[in-house]
Structure formats: structure tokens, C-alpha cells
Amino acid sequence: MIISQSRQLAEFVVNSQPETLTDAVLHEAKRSFMNWLGVAIGAIRHPTVEIALATVKETAGSPAAAVLGRSDRLDILNAAFVNGISSHVFDFDDTHLRTIIHPSGPVAPAVLAIAEVQQVSGLELLHAIVLGVEIECRIGNAIYPSHYDVGWHITGTAGAFGSAAASARLLGLDAGRLTRAMGIAASQAGGTREMFGTMT
């Protein structure tokens, strides 16, 4: 039987155990998460974020997760969306230098929003972030530089897989469902470099 690359990545995520994370990896995960929180909160009053927040409030579901640095609460999807925008507005979020991916931007907001509605330990949260970053950077390594050179925003495309993997881990998806989630992420991934420096 041939196992797809997506299934291999899914099995890696599902079978990974938080206890296997080294102190060095945990330290870097904490640093990245704290950096992500800082840049997200630092940009929370930026006009781009204000516009996004006003837009999603029109259709948001039941409030369940925080918009960082504000009293607003949104449904999980929209809280992750707004916090993700806020964290990338100033472009100071962490960077995987080999691929130019900003790994925490797509992963941390999704994980934090999920963690607000279900019981998640700090170690589980960090483990999900590490797994999401691992998946998006592995995919980034496979497609960079050609993917980036033709105009795609690799944080948005590869990051969608990382976000799906990290979210699936916290939600307890099995490898089959995570494989399908990554397929959905592939169909949703997008973002062009042409938008850099704009409110897009």
C-alpha cells in the first residue's frame, strides 16, 4: 500500500507525544509564542485590524475566544482570524529564514482560540504549536523557493497546513481526519506577495 505524504505527516502529528519535546525545543516554542503574543497585541489598534474586526462582527457566531488586547470576544474561527491578522500587520513575527515563513502567524491564533474552549495544558498548547510549525516548515522546505518566486505568500500557503495540523492535534483528530483536514487546507491556502505592505 502506498501511503500519501499527507497521511505520513498526519501520522507524525497524531503519534507525536508532548513528553518527547526537548528543553531546547520547548524554550524556542515559548519564545515564539511570546513574540507572537507581543506583536499581536502591539498591532491590535491598527486600522487593518479595526476593519477586519468590524467586518467579522457582522457575521460572527457566539463569542468564545478573545481578541488579544481588547475586550472583544468572537467565535473561534473569527478570533483566530483577527488575532492572526494583528500578529502579522507589522511583519515582526518570527521567521523561518530558509523559507521566509512566519511560522507562528498561522498556527498560534488557531491553537489559542481552540485552547480557550477546551481544557488544554500549557504543554499541550506548546506541543500543538511545535507540530504545526514543523509541518508548515517541512512543506515550505519542499516548495521554496519556486513557490515564493512565482508570487505566492508562503506563510499563507504552507501555514494553512501548519494551522490544520496544530488544530487537529488539540481537537484529537485521528490520522484519517487530519489527512482530510490538510486536503481542505490545501484547497483554502492562498496569499500572494503582491499584497505585501497593503491592508490585504
* pLDDT tens by residue, 47-74: 999 999 999 999 999 999 999 999 999 9
Angle between helices 5-15 and 154-171 (to 10 degrees): 50
Per-residue confidence (pLDDT) for residue 191, from 0 to 100: 75
* pLDDT tens by residue, 145-168: 999 999 999 999 999 999 999 999
| pTM for the whole structure | 0.93
Per-residue confidence (pLDDT) for residue 29, from 0 to 100: 97
**Measured between alpha carbons, how far is 116 from 65 in angstroms, rounded to an integer?**
6
Per-residue confidence (pLDDT) for residue 2, from 0 to 100: 57
The answer to whether 48 and 198 are in contact (CB under 8 A) is no
C-alpha cell at 140: 515550505
Going from the N-terminus, what domains does the chain have, and what CATH number goes with each?
A: 5-195 (1.10.4100.10)
